[in-house]
Chain A
Amino acid sequence: EVQLVESGGGLVHPGGSLRLTCVVSGFNFRSYWMHWVRQAPGRGPVWVSRIGTNGADATYATSVKGRFTVSRDNAENTLFLQMNSLRDDDTGVYYCARGRTGDGYNPDSWGQGTLVTVSS
């Protein structure tokens, strides 16, 4: 069974940092592109970042570029999102998701998410 479990969310002040972690199981992690997608309360999902199978090819949403860094540890089946200089509008549930077999661009399996709240 494919499983993705996010952790690391919480309450942080504006300007602060958080590191999100996603531990996966049930599939060959090193063979899949991975994504982060967030969803503010009552709003639709917003794509945040994706990373290629070997840790290269990392791309970001315009709003997070230069503040967020995605990385992965294929030996530990773990995906990370380092978030710095957090702002109020970064608040939301952060999902990690596996890219579809083949092109990797469409997330096809999602975790349950971890809540990040940025507030003073």
Chain B
Amino acid sequence: DIVLTQSPLSLPVSPGEPASISCTSSQSLLHANGYTYLAWYLQRPGQSPHLLISLTSDRASGVPDRFSGSGSGTDFTLKISRVEAEDVGVYYCMQAVQTPQTFGQGTKLEIK
């Protein structure tokens, strides 16, 4: 199975400041079709996860443009340009290049 390793595991950020989360894969997430199957999810307290970004950098419908994804191969990053209070929760990366699909262990973002 592909292992995804996130860092940091805990991320305290002041409102209005930027934040960055790294996700490293044990194998390349580049599919033969040319797409790279890395997605990012946010799970707010008490809620189901919801999709932020798919295919490394495509923002899902309704996701603010302060969220951006980048990377290739095995190294990926989620960036928040200016953190807001509603961004609190646990962020997960997920790969879908092969089954079983796997998640990273999560990064907990909190407001300072």
Is there a chain A Cβ closer than 8 Å to B21's Cβ? no
CA distance A103 to B1 in the complex (A): 20
Is there a chain B Cβ closer than 8 Å to A82's Cβ? no
Least CB distance, A83 to chain B, in whole angstroms: 16
Chain B residues with CB below 8 A from A55, complex form: none
CA distance A100 to B102 in the complex (A): 16
Please tell me the size bucket of the interface on B.
20 to 34
CA distance A60 to B49 in the complex (A): 20
Give chain B interface residues in 73-104, CB to chain A under 8 Å: 90, 92, 94, 96, 99-104
Give chain A interface residues in 64-120, CB to chain B under 8 Å: 95, 100, 103, 105-113
Query: Using an 8 Å CB-CB cutoff, how does the interface string of B1-13 with A read, 1 for contact, 0 for none?
Result: 1000000000000
Please tell me the size bucket of the interface on A.
20 to 34
State whether A110 and B50 are in contact (beta carbons under 8 Å apart), knowing that A44-B90, A44-B106, A62-B1 are contacts in the complex. yes
Q: Are A47 and B48 in touch, CB under 8 angstroms? A: no
Is there a chain B Cβ closer than 8 Å to A31's Cβ? no
Query: Using an 8 Å CB-CB cutoff, how does the interface string of B36-51 with A read, 1 for contact, 0 for none?
Result: 0101010100001111
State whether A60 and B100 are in contact (beta carbons under 8 Å apart), knowing that A103-B35, A108-B60 are contacts in the complex. yes
Main secondary structure of the interface of B (DSSP, over half): loop
Is there a chain B Cβ closer than 8 Å to A61's Cβ? yes
State whether A50 and B90 are in contact (beta carbons under 8 Å apart), knowing that A44-B106, A95-B48 are contacts in the complex. no
CA distance A50 to B94 in the complex (A): 14
Q: Are B35 and A111 in touch, CB under 8 angstroms? A: no
14 contacts between A and B (CB under 8 A): A44-B90, A45-B41, A45-B43, A47-B100, A50-B101, A61-B100, A95-B49, A100-B54, A103-B37, A106-B51, A106-B94, A107-B49, A108-B51, A108-B54
With A107-B51, A111-B48, A112-B48 given, name 17 new contacts (CB 8 A).
A44-B92, A44-B105, A47-B94, A47-B100, A47-B101, A47-B103, A100-B51, A100-B60, A105-B101, A106-B37, A106-B39, A106-B51, A106-B94, A106-B96, A109-B51, A110-B49, A113-B48
